Structure 1
Amino acid sequence: MSTQTKALERVTDGRGRSMFSVDALAERWNCSARHVYRMADSGRMPRPIKLGSLVRWPIAVIEQWEQDGCPNVRNANKRDQR
């Protein structure tokens, strides 16, 4: 499977939302899956949705976050209160 095809692979949840897997995000950003998990754990990106034992990110949420310039999500409330 080519890397371009794998990065475009989409998974949907029970509500029909398209989701990114950690591997798809790692390929999209050219980093490791571990780095994606670290970013999520530290609040530097949107929190994932757990589907059983799987971890996924809604595509619309990630694309909006990227368009906003990838701000730290953990500090978003502090910025909004100023």
Structure 2
Amino acid sequence: MLYASVDMRHIPQRDMSCGVSSIIHRRSVNEFLRNPGSQSDVATYIAAMAKELAEMASGCQMPLLRYLLEMAQDEALSISRQQQDSREAGE
């Protein structure tokens, strides 16, 4: 799984104004600023956050914003995969 190398934690989120509630698995932004990890780790984190935000946008009937966030998620996952493939090829 892509998220295996990222130090994740469960942060409960309150019900959003649009009725979206979830448990977000993420590292705090401050943790990334102190220790960003690999490019793959950062891209994986961004993909996870973009997915959560896209779900929120969908729940609030914001289709264009959802679409843009899904594009960001896809790009971040692509970067993460490329980095992982490069690492595996170098082994």
Q: What is the TM-score when the length of structure 2 is the normalising length?
A: 0.25
Q: Return the structure number with greater helix share.
A: 2
Q: Return the structure number with greater strand share.
A: 1
